[in-house]
Amino acid sequence: MTDSTSISFTTSNRGKPLLIYSGYIFRLKKSTVKVKYWTCHSDGCVANVHTDKNDHFIKSNGQHHHIPEPEQIELRNLKRKVKERVKTETSSISKIYEEELARSNLSSTALTLASTAAEGKSGLNRVRRKTTPPIPTSAEFDIPEFYSQTLDGTQFFPTAIHHGCFFHYCQSLYKNVKSLGLSTSYLEDEDTRLACRTWHNRFNNRVEKHHPNMWHFLECLKREELLFRQQLGKLNAGIPKKTSSNVCISQKQIDTLTERYEQEQITLIDFLYGLSTLVAKRSTKSL
């Protein structure tokens, strides 16, 4: 049985609060120290609801001269969820809209009335622009404090000074990569190359765009910093990385072959042949 005093809230297209009660939508007419007065949003309808200052139901008055609008309530809730995500996330608006549309489980009528992602994109772009700094038009611009901090509010690289152009910065970065021996590892070690390719694929998937703007890219870097901070913490704490069952089986096979060879139970040829089967298994799986 439905609670006759059950109320919920959503927002209007302009971000104003709306009250939902018994399938009808009410807008805030006025409020006092103790009571909020809500009136039906349909023009000419005298039905109204009273709540206390904490939005708890007090009473309802009057009769509606129109039928309930459950589809409009569904659509307003969908718009509210989409707008909230557009304000706080950097994912494409189309992706956010389509994800929320799928999660909302709209009725057939509401689904038919709902805008498509393309139809709603213009208004949602305006919502995002209100919470995002303007795109820089020159190489000299100030980075807002929000974008110069990690997700936990810590200032990163506070003493770093960037001299020179991007080309020379990359050149200096590569010199450091070589001095640490990472270039040699990449050229000679297949596992290192695989790790680099895996990271690039994962990061590209996180960015989601071929040409991200400055603020979208900085948000991606902030999330990436959090991930690596977690991994570094696990490494420093000595927490072992989870190993797949296939890796365990392969390591056990290597240990067995090594033990049998050291005990002269198999020849060098047999030992090398056994190791080659591991390489063959790996190559087959990659096809």
Q: What residue ranges do the domains of the chain occupy?
A: 7-68, 71-131, 134-174+203-241, 245-286
Percentage of the chain surpassing pLDDT 90? 34
Give the β-pairing of 48-52 and 35-40. antiparallel
pLDDT over 50 (residue 99): yes
pLDDT over 60 (residue 282): no
pLDDT over 50 (residue 2): no
pLDDT over 70 (residue 4): no
Mean pLDDT value of segment 104-117: 90
pLDDT tens digits, 121-175: 888 888 888 888 888 888 788 888 888 889 888 887 778 777 778 898 899 889 9
Token pair belonging to 132: 């995002």
Mean pLDDT value of segment 60-83: 91
The predicted model scores a pTM of 0.60
pLDDT over 90 (residue 47): yes
Mean pLDDT value of segment 20-35: 92
Mean pLDDT value of segment 237-266: 80
14-to-69, 88, 131, 146, 166 alpha-carbon distances in Å: 19, 18, 15, 26, 42
Q: What is the pLDDT of residue 287?
A: 47
Task: Quickly list H helices, the chain.
Answer: 70-88, 93-104, 108-113, 117-131, 166-179, 182-188, 190-207, 214-236, 245-262, 268-286
Q: What is the pLDDT of residue 34?
A: 92
Among 5-9, 205-209, 212-216, 239-243, the range scoring the smallest mean pLDDT is 239-243
Inter-residue contact 79 to 106 (CB < 8 Å): no
> What is the DSSP annotation of 232-244?
HHHHHTTPPPP--
Of residues 247 and 224, more confidently modeled: 224
pLDDT over 90 (residue 281): no
pLDDT over 70 (residue 3): no
Q: Could you tell me the pLDDT band of residue 244, with boundaries at 50, 70 and 90?
A: low
Helix (H, G, I), strand (E, B), or coil: what is residue 167? helix
Q: What is the pLDDT of residue 176?
A: 93
Q: Which CATH number fits domain 7-68: 3.90.550.10, 1.10.3720.10, 2.40.50.140, 2.20.25.240?
A: 2.20.25.240
Q: CB atoms < 10 A from the CB of 75, how many? A: 20
pLDDT tens digits, 176-219: 999 999 999 999 999 899 999 999 999 998 888 888 888 889 98
pLDDT over 70 (residue 285): no
Instruction: Tell me the pLDDT of the chain averaged across its residues.
Output: 86
Token pair belonging to 101: 């549309």
Q: Could you tell me the pLDDT band of residue 1, with boundaries at 50, 70 and 90?
A: very low
